[in-house]
Amino acid sequence: MTPDIAAARAALGHLDIDDNPVSVRAKSRDFFWYSPVLKARLDHLTADFVVAPRSEAEVIETLRVCHAHNVPVTVRGAGTGNYGQAMPLAGGCVLHLKHLDRVTAVHPGRVICQPGALLRDVDAACNAHGQELRMFSSTWATATIGGFIAGGSGGIGSCTWGQLRDLGNILRLRVVTMEETPRVLEFRGEELSRVSHAYGTNGVITEVEMPLAPAYDWVGLFVAVDDFDAAARLALDLANEDGILIKLASVFEAPTAQDYFQRVRPHIRDGEHLVALMIAPHAMDAFGVFLSRRPGARLIYRSDAHDWDRDPGPVFEYGWNHTTLRALKVDPAITYLQVLYPGDPYPKMAKMRALFGAEVLQHLEVIRAGGTCGFASLSLVKFTTEERLEEIVRLHEAHGCFVFNPHRYTLEEGGRQHRDEGQLSFKREADPKGLLNPGKMIGWDDPDFDYATIWHYPGMKAAE
């Protein structure tokens, strides 16, 4: 099944197509370099050409032509994924959805839009109707809604609404298959999990319908706390205060803020831990009472009334994966891990802090799962070697923590280390030649893989 790149490129020549090697390389890259492990493996990769369709019909045409010529297709939203989700491992065509950016309709409780619309723009359209997205990634200003659904998991809003793949958080997806004659399918309910968070390995999303919440002028806050456990408890207890509406609760172990948050640094004392919050304006009085009951916690910033010389910008751009980005900008040796602490999180966090000290700093995000609030940790790790990183993962697991490894480019290794039968069976139907984002689904290429080592996609383009 040899790809005929020249034939596909020629057949698509009337579309918005780019084969300038410099810009094609730029459009073939995402934030994979967040991980030193992925950087070492994926840095050389580039597609052969980029097509930017202007309509669903052009998506269909591109998929049909590439199918006929055995050319791999990797979908791209804005390329902010940080596990190499949008990296074209086998080269071929990058399908760039930048032109499919229309917000089609805003109804009470739901929005319909094209996948290439930026989260920020979808929110702006909804705000005009007094509504907003329930949740968004911290890349709100730059990422697309299609990329968030296909490559992300949750974010700001997840402390109230749960994660993207929880029932009810996506309403409908329209999906194009990659067959001899591509089909257009509409997914709702149970079927949504077959294509959401599937990295575009089994279909191209061409329309999305998402649920909305009432819009608020959220107040962004920073609270400094003298003790780490007290900071974590403040965030979690606040999320569990039934009457106080919040959209974000993040915790940063000292000295994260002192070392990496330049505009916060002048306002926080040595040794203090930082909590970042977004609270609905009408809940601020109640929050004042909540905070007054927490000795050792002091409010250092609120976005609606502050005297800081330098505005810190949106508070959510300190949380989720923006924490890692800010740390990386100061210290390029920083990377991170995604950790869950099943059961009582506090003893496990204390154990990890004692075990690793400054090598692993706790960064917690409060998320709601199954109706209960808990922590997802995106711990900052001072990287030395791959071997040590693997050892840090093993030590977490040995102490009952669960690690979603962000240093892997496959769905399975970055997730729960087993294949998703729903996604795999849909790939068999929708992408029989295995041309959509090849190398990202181990279940397709290597069903007997045992996850004892890092998986290597045999079809990966070699470095020149």
Residue 258 vs 338, nearer CB to ligand FAD: 338
Least separation in angstroms between residue 224's CB and ligand FAD is: 23
222/103 Cα distance (integer angstroms): 33
Residue 53 vs 255, nearer CB to ligand FAD: 53
The residue ranges that bind ligand FAD (CB under 6 A) are: 30-31, 74-82, 85-86, 97, 115, 137-139, 143-144, 146-148, 150-155, 199-200, 204-205, 320-322, 325, 437
Least separation in angstroms between residue 115's CB and ligand FAD is: 3
Nearest of 217, 239, 213, 226 to residue 365 by alpha carbon: 239
Least separation in angstroms between residue 393's CB and ligand FAD is: 20
Least separation in angstroms between residue 351's CB and ligand FAD is: 26
Here the tokens at position 347 are 């003893």
Here the tokens at position 53 are 């369709």
Least separation in angstroms between residue 85's CB and ligand FAD is: 3
- Extended strands (E) in 126-171: 131-133
Least separation in angstroms between residue 270's CB and ligand FAD is: 27
Q: Cβ of 463: how many Cβ atoms within 10 Å? A: 8
Least separation in angstroms between residue 157's CB and ligand FAD is: 10
Residue 228 vs 320, nearer CB to ligand FAD: 320
Residue at token pair 């990966």: 460
Least separation in angstroms between residue 293's CB and ligand FAD is: 30
Give me the count of residues in the chain: 464
**SS3 track for 394-463:** HHHHHCCCEEECCCCCCHHHHCCCCCCHHHHHHHHHHCCCCCECCCCCHHHHCCCCCCCCCCCCCCCCCC
Residue 148 vs 228, nearer CB to ligand FAD: 148
In sequence order, the 6+-apart residues with CB closer than 8 A to the CB of 284 are 219, 302
Residue 3 vs 147, nearer CB to ligand FAD: 147
Buried b (16+ CB within 10 A) or exposed e, 292-328: eebeebbbbbbbeebeeeeebebbbbbbbbbbbbbbb
Q: Please list the helix, strand and coil fractions of the chain in percent, rounded to the nearest 5, in that order.
A: 35, 25, 45
Residue at token pair 């769905």: 411
Query: Residue of minimal CB distance from ligand FAD?
Result: 147
363/361 Cα distance (integer angstroms): 6
Residue 295 vs 402, nearer CB to ligand FAD: 402
Residue 263 vs 306, nearer CB to ligand FAD: 263
Residue 204 vs 366, nearer CB to ligand FAD: 204
